[in-house]
Amino acid sequence: MGCGAKPHVGMEIKMSKIKPEVSAKLSQSARAGIEMTAVALPAFWSVIQLFSWWKPPLNTIVFAVMLGVMLPRAMKRVQLSEIHYAIAAFAAGTAAAAGCGMLIENDNGLRVLGGLLFAVAVALPVWTRRFGDAWKAPGTVFTIPFMAILVHPLPLEQNAAYFGWMLAAAAIALLWTIIVKILSSARDIPITTEPDQVAIAKPQAIMSSTKMAIQLAVAVAAAFACAELVDANHLVWPVLTVLIVHSGNNGRGDLLWKGAQRTAGALIGVTAASFIAINLPPKNSIEIVAIFGILVFAAAVREFGYIFWAACIPAALVFLYSFFGQTGAELTIHLAHRLLGIAIGSAVGIISGYFILPVRMIDVVRLRLSKILSIACDIAITSARGKTDEASIERLRMAKDELLHFKGAAKAARYLGVGAARRLHGAVNGAYELASHIVSGDIPKGSDDLAALAKEIGVARRSLSSEAAGANNTLTDHPDQLIAYVQAIVTAKLNPKKSE
């Protein structure tokens, strides 16, 4: 098959029936649950021990636990050799989040200032991604304290002592996270990353990272304004919802899919937990057990669908607030505010992504496909020369995991989307299968076959690039051709002597 030849679409294509992501999800889920438990529980115990000598604010316990829940996942992409950057980012984020939280607690003009600074601070790490993937992991770690600071069952104190206690609680959570990460890291392969911006053929006046940062800042500011109207004393629901919907923003289609899951999951979780908690007295130990049980379960099932995480986290917060005194009729009133806040937060997050400098998910998916094809081509060329590039294989594994994020949204677009978005599902599945086969070593072994494999991957990538350069900049021109290329590669039935 020549370099410019098209694969015979009518050829027998036997896509693997094995779902490698199932076993991967089981492994990741088990590990995520163990790591979260190994951080959250020791962090909780460590802060509790401080009460033997001092009297730190109760909110510091909640802050440490919330950080323990979110930090292990955020630190997963941080290499041990670069962990000092993540520590610096986390320290800066904790100080900024605590300061913003104290300003927001004011009833005067400082409350507005705190909300604006909060919006700018969470958008800043998104903007820095314009400088490459190296900024992504520290930026994510920087944002975690801003999400955790929103969860406070009691009013935040506004003094230097409280600020110091929040820093101490964060340090405890970070220490346990680093210990668990070091113990769980079997290897630390240096990975060369590439800029992770949406590649569009036409020159962009504004880069995608800047667009997404502006979207997030506007959405958070709008969520604060809406929270003032719905329930000024509980900003957590609309603001936290916006942060969750925009976390890992991958285009407007992804925002819509995540926002729908966030709303549905939260409505289910909050309603179910509220009906249980309404009959429990405050300060009940059962509620503490329920909180940690739900958090462990959430971490364990998150890989199987975001909707499970979206249902479990709000449910855990219901038991947390019930533990600190929201029971009976008061809990019922707060239930209505919570559900409304969640719905508003989801709507604000989706609207900002669709109408404020929108970034199309189809462009982001094209970038991920191009990245996978590029790495796969390099691996095939290296293998044809009789060498093995472990770093490239690890990069392909990470790119494959990133693409897995789009499978749910692409599947939803297949049935509910319009235009080119409806055809994304086949391309995403094909590229995922290609990466899975290469990572597992299920590729041709002969040098000629490997050279043909590299050639066909190159053809597929150039086909993708030529579509990106088209007038409409969509996948509608020849989407089936790209899918056929990838499927033909996966079957490893390439015949370099055959041409059309």
pLDDT band for position 368 (50/70/90)? confident
Closest by Cα among 479, 496, 370 to 434: 370
pLDDT band for position 411 (50/70/90)? confident
Question: Residue 5: its pLDDT value, please?
Answer: 37
Contacts by residues 405-411 (CB-CB < 8 Å, ≥ 24 positions apart):
405/248, 405/250, 405/254, 406/250, 406/254, 406/361, 406/364, 406/365, 406/368, 407/432, 408/257, 408/305, 408/306, 409/250, 409/253, 409/254, 409/257, 409/258, 409/361, 410/365
Q: Collapse the DSSP code of 486 into the 3-class scheme (helix H, G, I; strand E, B; otherwise coil) and give the result.
A: helix
Question: Residue 125: its pLDDT value, please?
Answer: 92
> Is the model's pLDDT at 346 over the cut of 50?
yes
> Is the model's pLDDT at 484 over the cut of 60?
no
Which of 320-329 are b and which e, b meaning 16 or more Cβ less than 10 Å from the residue's Cβ?
A: bbbbbebbee
Question: Residue 481: its pLDDT value, please?
Answer: 45
Angle between helices 361-384 and 407-416 (to 10 degrees): 130
Question: Of the ranges 20-29, 98-107, 183-192, which is most confident?
Answer: 98-107
Dihedral sign (CA 178, 181, 185, 190): negative
Closest by Cα among 150, 96, 101, 103 to 123: 96
Question: Residue 480: its pLDDT value, please?
Answer: 43
- Mean pLDDT over 161-181 rounds to 93
Rg (the chain; Cα; Å): 24
Q: What is the pTM of this model?
A: 0.77
Residue 221 vs residue 259, higher pLDDT: 221
- Give the C-alpha separation, 491 to 481, whole Å: 16
Question: Residue 156: its pLDDT value, please?
Answer: 84
pLDDT band for position 43 (50/70/90)? very high
Question: Residue 175: its pLDDT value, please?
Answer: 95
- Give the C-alpha separation, 61 to 56, whole Å: 9
Other Cβ atoms within 10 Å of 69 Cβ, number: 26
Outline where 186-251 has alpha helix (H): 208-231, 236-246
- Mean pLDDT over 315-328 rounds to 80
pLDDT band for position 245 (50/70/90)? confident
Maximal C-alpha separation, the chain? 80
Task: Flag the least confident range among 236-245, 282-291, 389-398, 433-442.
Answer: 433-442
Dihedral sign (CA 66, 308, 28, 422): negative
Question: Residue 17: its pLDDT value, please?
Answer: 40
Percent of the chain with pLDDT over 90: 20
Residue 485 vs residue 474, higher pLDDT: 485
pLDDT band for position 174 (50/70/90)? very high
CB 443 within 8 A of CB 437: yes
- Give the C-alpha separation, 487 to 493, whole Å: 10
Question: Of the ranges 70-74, 95-99, 147-151, 207-211, which is most confident?
Answer: 95-99
- Give the C-alpha separation, 496 to 254, whole Å: 39
> Is the model's pLDDT at 114 over the cut of 80?
yes
- Give the C-alpha separation, 86 to 438, whole Å: 31
Distances, alpha carbon 370 to alpha carbons 197, 242, 255, 463, in Å: 12, 30, 22, 10
Give tens-digit pLDDT for 263-312: 888 888 888 888 888 877 777 788 888 888 898 888 888 777 778 888 88
Task: Flag the least confident range among 42-51, 342-351, 384-393, 419-428.
Answer: 419-428
- Mean pLDDT over 27-41 rounds to 79
- Mean pLDDT over 330-354 rounds to 84
pLDDT band for position 449 (50/70/90)? low
Question: Residue 98: its pLDDT value, please?
Answer: 94
> Is the model's pLDDT at 121 over the cut of 90?
yes
pLDDT band for position 94 (50/70/90)? very high
Can you give the length of the chain in residues? 500
What are the tokens at 153? 């069952």
Closest by Cα among 323, 149, 332, 144 to 235: 149
Residue 89 vs residue 485, higher pLDDT: 89
> Is the model's pLDDT at 495 over the cut of 60?
no
pLDDT band for position 178 (50/70/90)? very high
Question: Of the ranges 238-242, 309-313, 451-455, which is most confident?
Answer: 238-242
Question: Residue 373: its pLDDT value, please?
Answer: 79
Percent of the chain with pLDDT over 70: 76
- Mean pLDDT over 99-126 rounds to 89
Which of 142-169 are b and which e, b meaning 16 or more Cβ less than 10 Å from the residue's Cβ?
A: bbbbbbbbbbbbeebbeeeebbebbbbb
Hey, where are the domains in the chain? 20-184, 205-359, 361-491
What's the chain's average pLDDT?
77
Q: Using CB atoms within 10 Å of the CB of residue 106, give its burial: 0 to 12 exposed, 13 to 18 middle, 19+ buried.
A: middle
> Is the model's pLDDT at 362 over the cut of 50?
yes
Residue 257 exposure: Cα atoms within 13 Å on the Cβ side: 24
